[in-house]
Homo-oligomer: A and B are copies of this chain.
Amino acid sequence: MNELSLSKAYRFLEPGPVVLMTTAYKGSTNIMTMSYYMIIQDGSEDGSVPLIGCSIGPWDHSFTALCATGECVIAVPTVDLASKVVEIGNCSGDDVDKFDAFGLTPVSAEKVKSPLVAECLANLECRVSDNSLVDKYNLFILEVVKAWTDPERKERRMIHHNGDGTFVVDGRTINLKKKMVKWPTYL
């Protein structure tokens, strides 16, 4: 895995793929599947940090871990992991060791105790920056503190949940850089 600049980490989340979130608590790890998140601040400007908002319900096993430890990793899967992503989202860490059950490989992160997922395209180590919205909205605000990517990975297509059990797979890419005000900085 290669280090990814924090100022570019948002580029794996802006397209809105379904992601995994790992936590580690009381000697065990957990993974959940998540689509309800956003970039609050992309961290692309000097002096600003990347902030992500994400919605995690108290029924999720990961909720307790996130509240207690204030740490997690957001891992970005690709289409070859689609079935596992869905199965992860449909069982509970109370019952199952998900890394083990789904043949995923935990890797030690650098700044947090939650594991990276070796099979994912990108991994974003996060700390809870603001939990004041958890009671009202189940909304955690996370700061990305370290980011990794796997530039060698051949399969790079992400998947997007349509909210009904079907997923759209990334298709072709179109380049509209020259129409963007920020174009020179995209080079």
Q: A residues near B, CB below 8 A? A: 8, 10-11, 14-17, 35-42, 44, 51, 53-55, 79, 82-83, 86-87, 89-90, 133, 137-139, 141, 157-183, 186
With most chain B CB atoms within 10 A of its CB, the pick from A35, A51, A83, A89 is A35
Most chain B CB inside 10 Å of its own CB: which residue of A35, A82, A164, A167: A164
Judging by beta carbons under 8 Å apart, are B164 and A15 in contact? no
Q: Is B40's CB under 8 angstroms from A137's CB? A: yes
On whether A176 and B14 interact (CB within 8 A), knowing A36-B40, A55-B38, A171-B168, the answer reads no
Residue in A138, A159, A162 with the greatest tally of chain B CB atoms within 10 Å: A162
Q: A166 contacts which chain B residues (CB < 8 A)?
A: 173-177
A165 lies within 8 A of B141 (CB) = no
CA distance A13 to B53 in the complex (A): 15
Residue in contact with A163 in the complex, picked from B42, B133, B167, CB distance below 8 Å: B42
Do B35 and A161 touch (CB < 8 A)?
no
Q: Please tell me if the beta carbons of A83 and B17 are within 8 angstroms of each other in the complex.
A: no
Pair B162/A182 contact, Cβ less than 8 Å: no
Q: How far is the CA of A76 from the CA of B128 in the complex (A)?
A: 31
Q: In the complex, which residue of chain B has the Cβ closest to the Cβ of A179?
A: B86
Do B39 and A55 touch across chains, with their CB atoms under 8 A apart?
yes
Q: Could you list 27 A-B pairs, sorted by A, with CB under 8 Å?
A: A10-B163, A11-B162, A14-B36, A15-B162, A15-B163, A16-B17, A36-B42, A40-B55, A41-B55, A82-B176, A86-B176, A90-B179, A90-B180, A90-B181, A133-B133, A160-B160, A165-B175, A165-B179, A165-B182, A166-B173, A166-B176, A167-B174, A168-B170, A168-B172, A169-B171, A171-B171, A171-B172
User: In chain B, what residue has the closest Cβ to A177?
Assistant: B165
Q: Are A36 and B36 in contact (CB under 8 A)?
A: no
